[in-house]
């Protein structure tokens, strides 16, 4: 089975492919995708071979075909609905980010406990947390984002799981454990920045 890094690379290849498409490329080679995704051509071929995608040494890959294959693997051949829990800075930013729809991801609704945030009658509503389970079940949604303070994250995760959510993107700075049958991706912006600082300092030291 492919690991997380491989899937992140596939997503990069797909974005690179979209850019090449706008430049009217009909065929691409692993070198083109490697350059655009910052990996080696051998890595591109290795990643593709995991999914049975084969090119041709002379002709490369057909852009349209490859694009369809990657979209299918990444589940982008159909619109994916997502709910966002916690409509503060992070939640609102995601909620209003138009770029997601272009990628086939629709934020169907936001949820919060603060009545000031509610907007029940909108086509993209913000609803009280109590309505989460019914909404998620009614819309067959399996993906959710946690954007609540750290102390509330575990409880929110449990509610999401009871609703049938199986994939969670967690922005709260605590590492939530994924129970069986669910995948939790913890995004810790602070750790990412610390990581960057460490490697920038290491670059400086290596001068
Ligand atoms: N804002 C940032 O730049 C940033 C950066 C890194 C990490 N984070 C983390 O992301 C999370 C969200 O950050 P933020 O800045 O958007 O916070 P915020 O305080 O602006 O918003 C949090 C929202 O969650 C709601 N909330 C609280 N408890 C809830 C519950 N049990 N159920 C549903 N909603 C609830 C609040 O009413 C509020 O609207 C936090 O855990 C924060 O530490 C934020």
Q: Which domains does the chain have, with CATH numbers?
A: 4-73 (1.10.10.10), 80-190 (3.40.50.720)
- Confidence band of 56 (pLDDT split at 50, 70, 90): confident
Ligand 1 geometric centre to CA of 129 (Å): 14
Which atom, in ligand 1's list, is nearest to the CA of 149?
Answer: 41
Contact status, residue 146 vs residue 168, Cβ threshold 8 Å: yes
pLDDT for 171-193, tens place per residue?
999 999 888 889 999 999 999 99
Ligand 1 geometric centre to CA of 93 (Å): 11
> Quick check: ipTM above 0.95?
yes
3-class SS letters over 20-58:
HHHCCCCEECHHHHHHHHCCCHHHHHHHHHHCCCCCECC
Q: What is the mean pLDDT of the chain?
A: 92
Task: State the average pLDDT over residues 22-32.
Answer: 90
Residue 127 CB less than 6 A away from ligand 1:
no
The residue to mutate among 148, 172, 185, 191, having the most atoms of ligand 1 within 8 angstroms of its beta carbon, is: 148
Ligand 1 geometric centre to CA of 148 (Å): 4
């Amino acid at each position: 089975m492919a690991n997380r890094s491989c899937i992140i690379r596939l997503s990069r290849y797909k974005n690179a492919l979209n850019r090449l498409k706008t430049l009217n490329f009909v065929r691409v080679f692993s070198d083109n995708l490697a350059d655009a995704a910052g990996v080696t051509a051998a890595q591109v071929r290795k990643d593709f071979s995991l999914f049975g995608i084969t090119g041709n040494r002379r002709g490369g890959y057909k852009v349209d075909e490859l694009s369809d294959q990657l979209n299918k693997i990444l589940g982008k051949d159909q619109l994916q609905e997502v709910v966002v829990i916690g409509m503060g800075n992070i939640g609102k930013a995601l909620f209003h980010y138009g770029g997601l729809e272009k990628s086939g991801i629709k934020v169907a609704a936001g949820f919060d406990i603060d009545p000031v945030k509610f907007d029940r009658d909108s086509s993209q509503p913000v609803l009280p947390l109590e309505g989460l389970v019914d909404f998620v079940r009614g819309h067959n949604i399996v993906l959710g984002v946690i954007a609540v303070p750290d102390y509330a994250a575990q409880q929110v995760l449990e509610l999401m799981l009871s609703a049938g959510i199986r994939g969670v993107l967690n922005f709260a700075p605590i590492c939530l454990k994924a129970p069986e049958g669910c995948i939790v991706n913890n995004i810790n912006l602070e750790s990412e920045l610390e990581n960057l600082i460490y490697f920038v300092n290491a670059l400086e030291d290596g001068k």
